[in-house]
A and B are shown apart, each in its own frame.
Chain A
Amino acid sequence: MSAEAKVEELTMRTMNEAAGEGGRGLNYEENLLWEKERSDHPGVDLPEPEGMALRTGRPARETIGLPQVSEPQVVRHFVRLSTWNYSIDHGFFPLGSCTMKHNPRLNEKMARLPGFAHIHPLQPENTVQGALKLMYELQHWLAELTGLPGVCLSPAAGAHGELAGMMTIRRAHEAKGNGHKKVVLVPDSAHGTNPATAAICGYTIRTIKTSETGRLTLEAFKEALYAGQDDGGDVAGMMVTNPNTCGLFEREIIPIADLLHEAGGYFYCDGANFNALVGKIRPGAFGVDVMHINLHKTFSTPHGGGGPGSGPICVTEELAPYLPVPTITCENDTYRLQYEDEAGRPESLGRLRGFVGQFGMHVRALSYMMSHGADGLKQVAEDAVLNANYILSQLKDDYHVPYEGPCMHECLLTDKMQKDQGVTTLDIAKTLCERGYHPMTVYFPLVVNGAMLIEPTETESKDAIDRFITVMKEIAADTAAGDTDKFHAYPESTPRRRLDEVLAARQPVLNWKE
């Protein structure tokens, strides 16, 4: 049935009736909270209000329309829902560019210490010295690891860090009288957030074309740099991910950064792929001026099904005055929050988030850094890179490898060798779901067709990686043998089979209605 026909036929009632009934074995069905029988009491016991006269100056609200169930029902509801999720604690999660590594439980325990969980950001500073010290120390770790001494922890996620970083660059240009610089160079292989961020900061995007080696060349870079003005005078900066989104280190990064700097531009490095470098390579030493760090990638804070993330930014000394507020300083063993006032950083671009940032994530990240130490973090990078190269070496005869290695912490394959048999990257991804794996990142980067970007991370054993390789080889072998029908039907054993995304977009149903 076409999506249009489905839209015609479906009413909310029939959609709700399509909720599964019963279940089989350990595979449970579960209806929504609003579909449960309404209890006459809630799942919390609160004291009876005294019935004091209202002093709100407003009429009291009538019915809201919320469900009502007891505590055991709530627990069962969410535990059943949880069984429909795949997670890193379940198994291999080779999602390229996302760094799905083990999330240590120690970090969770630390963030829940009452002295961290139950403190308020507006308490007197002398009552939160331990929290400020922790943040100060995290700033130091990040500065040391990146080689970029100015650190602001406040951005709430990677994309928010990008925004903070690009606004820092913009602020610096304005302060130096270079407000006319309006172009940001972005490779065609970049994450979508890069051009989106630059555009939000009021910049025009000029694309740098990736070469047939999957990397930037000095030639292509020059072409973009000088496309507007002979001296690149209109270029405010570039946003480059390094290692790039093809999993490759940009060999010509130093001459590229030099030319950019000569033209008065700043180098923003997307830190999504820092896991390949941590403890081993300093981005500040290959020309980076600004970089965000995803604490939820490199530093193991949990992805939580889509956040909370945390995206601190690290900058050169030259750019530090323009960073967002607040930042943490220390004088005579006393830690203070630094703001935009005269005593602080009057040249700052201002505030980008309420309060001090995702503090709970700062605790988790520092707990992880301390656990690994300088020696462990270096081993993290090396194991991540070795694991990815091992996968590449084992699958290079079964899948098309668009760019020559060695790769860094992730390897890029495509479906070119399978496509003629009608098996696409999407089919391969859905087959992995059927076989008990989370798929790799698919159809990204956009510079190759049918991309499959595989990032094993350092927290997988060789045994786990070998089993994944075996499954990937079986898919390739069955495809080559023409045994392909099953791939289009997968997944079959998951809580839901392929979902109709067109239907969801054509007839948006975004909350529960009777």
Chain B
Amino acid sequence: MRYLPQTKESRKAMMDAVGVDSVDALYKDVPAQAFIDGLADLPMHMGELEVERKLSAYANENRAAPQGPFFLGAGVYYHHVPSTVDYVIQRSEFLTAYTPYQPEIAQGTLTAIFEFQTFIARLTGQDIANASLYDGATATAEAALMAMRVTRRNKICVANALHFDYRAVLKSYMGNHEGTEIFDGAPDEQTACVILQSPDFFGKPHAYEDWRKKCDETGALLVVVVNEIISLGLLPAPDCADIVCGEAQSIGLPMSFGGPHLGFFACKEKFLRQMPGRLCGQTLDADGKRGYVLTLNTREQHIRREKATSNICTNQGLCALAFTVHMALLGEDGFRRLARLNHEAACKLADALSAVDGVTVPGDSFFNEFVIELSKPSAEVVDALAARGIIAGYALDDRQLLVTATEMAQDADIKALAAALQDVLN
């Protein structure tokens, strides 16, 4: 009961002050049938050491990335996070603060959000960015919903290979709106937006210009989705898009089995009032000093209720802070260099795998991941390599494997993968 400060004596004193004999008297409005009979059928309390032993045993049943060669990406990426990041986000003042609704005593969080919004706007080449969304998949669905509000149209065009989870979430969200349609190909006059992922799910970077032109011709918005945000340190900025959204887990956050991650959302200023999610804005205080507040919340659910642009009422606050700290450490030169190092690791991986019998590397343009073709079914190969301590990549249909190399992949890891593939495939 280490988390409970009340004592027998203090509980008694408070009950006396309230004028009841037992706490149950305070639950008098609750129907008898709803009470748990005695205690729930669950274990009793445990000391810190016991919990730590139990959960460590669970953790040890998992194969963690640092245990050996690791080439899996597909929307979640294994990168190095500087120790400063975790130190800063574990400061009580950030970790245990609430949403900054009382700005006079939340300027730390608000200032960091303002810096986060600036980082995202600059990386994406957009005018404005919000304070973050749940993840890349929901950010993409929110972008489609926003495009529907702006254009008053209800067809969503998927231009290329969109991440399968993003597509599935898009489909679920669209299912709530009658008459909506998701289709592949090119936009028409009823299309609200074109969703272009770059690099696409298979790792290939795309040019934005042709799609911009198609959007201009039909009046659709161009949504560029980025789920490896480090690619923006090497690939051209999607500044011609109307909305740029996606996943920023690669900066500051561990993979953590898929979450919490960091959805980001940026757009052109003219769409400001149709944007989902929280926004932090600059203002002045009563003494004329610069400060920050959550702003334009008349778009949000707590004011607009059923007329809100979205039901979202949180961002991924601490994840956005981790991103901001990591970006501050990287700076302009570090971020660009990190992007280069990722690309070079992938180039080395492509060269090493091309030399393996039974592997072809068909693509010639990628950022840090690409598809290879195997002489055997890829799912079997992934399992065989996992048994050898190598996480080889993501098995696509049949004989295709999506492999990723970040700055974490050392030359020895690449050699180990190539050797194991040579062995398993021949």
Contact A280 B35 (CB under 8 A): yes
* Given A249-B29, A495-B107: A43 and B337 interface contact (C-beta under 8 Å): no
A282 within 8 A of B: yes
Contact A324 B172 (CB under 8 A): yes
Q: Give the Cβ gap from B154 to chain A, nearest Cβ, in Å.
A: 13
Q: Which residues of A contact B75 (CB under 8 A)?
A: 354
- Residues 370-405 of chain A: 1 if any B CB is under 8 Å from the residue's CB, otherwise 0? 111111111110110111011011100000000000
- Residues 78-119 of chain B: 1 if any A CB is under 8 Å from the residue's CB, otherwise 0? 100010101111111111111110111111110110110111
Considering only residues 299-358 of chain A, those with a C-beta below 8 Å from chain B are: 300, 302-310, 324, 349-358
Q: How large is the interface on A (under 10, 10 to 19, 20 to 34, 35 or more residues)?
A: 35 or more
Cα A20 to Cα B289 in complex, Å, equals 6
- Residues 122-156 of chain B: 1 if any A CB is under 8 Å from the residue's CB, otherwise 0? 11000011011011111000000000000000000
- Residues 211-247 of chain B: 1 if any A CB is under 8 Å from the residue's CB, otherwise 0? 0000000000000000000001111110000000001
**Which residue on chain B has the smallest CB distance to residue A36?**
B328
B412 within 8 A of A: no
* Given A56-B366, A380-B4: A357 and B168 interface contact (C-beta under 8 Å): no
Contact A121 B169 (CB under 8 A): no
Contact B65 A119 (CB under 8 A): yes
Q: Give the Cβ gap from A397 to chain B, nearest Cβ, in Å.
A: 13
* Given A66-B331, A74-B84, A351-B169: A120 and B42 interface contact (C-beta under 8 Å): no
Contact B61 A118 (CB under 8 A): no
Contact B128 A511 (CB under 8 A): yes
Contact A383 B6 (CB under 8 A): yes
A220 within 8 A of B: no
Q: Which residues of B contact A205 (CB under 8 A)?
A: 305-306
Contact B115 A33 (CB under 8 A): yes
Find B285's partner among A305, A351, A433, A500 (CB 8 Å cutoff): A500
Contact B278 A306 (CB under 8 A): yes
Q: Give the Cβ gap from B329 to chain A, nearest Cβ, in Å.
A: 4
* Given A167-B176, A279-B39, A510-B281: A82 and B29 interface contact (C-beta under 8 Å): no
Find A83's partner among B39, B108, B334 (CB 8 Å cutoff): B108
Q: Which residues of B contact A303 (CB under 8 A)?
A: 96-99, 317
Q: Give the Cβ gap from A383 to chain B, nearest Cβ, in Å.
A: 5
Cα A126 to Cα B336 in complex, Å, equals 37
Q: Give the Cβ gap from B387 to chain A, nearest Cβ, in Å.
A: 9
Q: Give the Cβ gap from A170 to chain B, nearest Cβ, in Å.
A: 8
**Which residue on chain A has the smallest CB distance to residue B393?**
A122
Cα A87 to Cα B97 in complex, Å, equals 4
**Which residue on chain B has the smallest CB distance to residue A141?**
B42
B335 within 8 A of A: yes
B178 within 8 A of A: yes
B2 within 8 A of A: yes
Cα A170 to Cα B303 in complex, Å, equals 25
B21 within 8 A of A: no
* Given A56-B367, A141-B42, A386-B18: A512 and B289 interface contact (C-beta under 8 Å): no
Contact B293 A281 (CB under 8 A): no
B186 within 8 A of A: no
Considering only residues 163-206 of chain B, those with a C-beta below 8 Å from chain A are: 163, 165-166, 168-169, 171-173, 175-178, 204-205
- Residues 364-378 of chain B: 1 if any A CB is under 8 Å from the residue's CB, otherwise 0? 111100000000000
Cα A363 to Cα B257 in complex, Å, equals 11
Q: Which residues of A contact B280 (CB under 8 A)?
A: 510
A63 within 8 A of B: yes
**Which residue on chain B has the smallest CB distance to residue A300?**
B3
Cα A193 to Cα B136 in complex, Å, equals 22
Contact B122 A498 (CB under 8 A): no
Contact B285 A496 (CB under 8 A): yes
User: Among the listed stretches A155-163, A226-234, A259-267, A478-486, which one makes contact with chain B, having 4 or more residues with CB under 8 Å of it?
Assistant: A155-163
Considering only residues 426-455 of chain A, those with a C-beta below 8 Å from chain B are: 429-430, 433, 438-439, 444
B352 within 8 A of A: no
Q: Which residues of A contact B292 (CB under 8 A)?
A: 499
**Which residue on chain A has the smallest CB distance to residue B364?**
A55
Q: Which residues of A contact B87 (CB under 8 A)?
A: 75
Cα A303 to Cα B92 in complex, Å, equals 11
Contact B258 A498 (CB under 8 A): no
Q: Give 17 new A-B contacts, CB below 8 A, not counting A196-B311, A433-B104.
A: A74-B329, A110-B52, A118-B78, A129-B62, A192-B305, A193-B313, A196-B310, A254-B31, A305-B108, A305-B317, A307-B317, A354-B137, A360-B256, A371-B46, A371-B48, A373-B45, A389-B20
27 A-B pairs whose Cβ atoms sit less than 8 Å apart in the complex: A44-B329, A55-B350, A64-B237, A71-B84, A89-B92, A103-B95, A115-B61, A119-B256, A122-B76, A130-B61, A156-B135, A160-B138, A302-B95, A306-B131, A307-B260, A308-B319, A351-B137, A352-B169, A353-B135, A354-B165, A354-B259, A355-B258, A356-B259, A367-B55, A371-B3, A386-B14, A386-B23
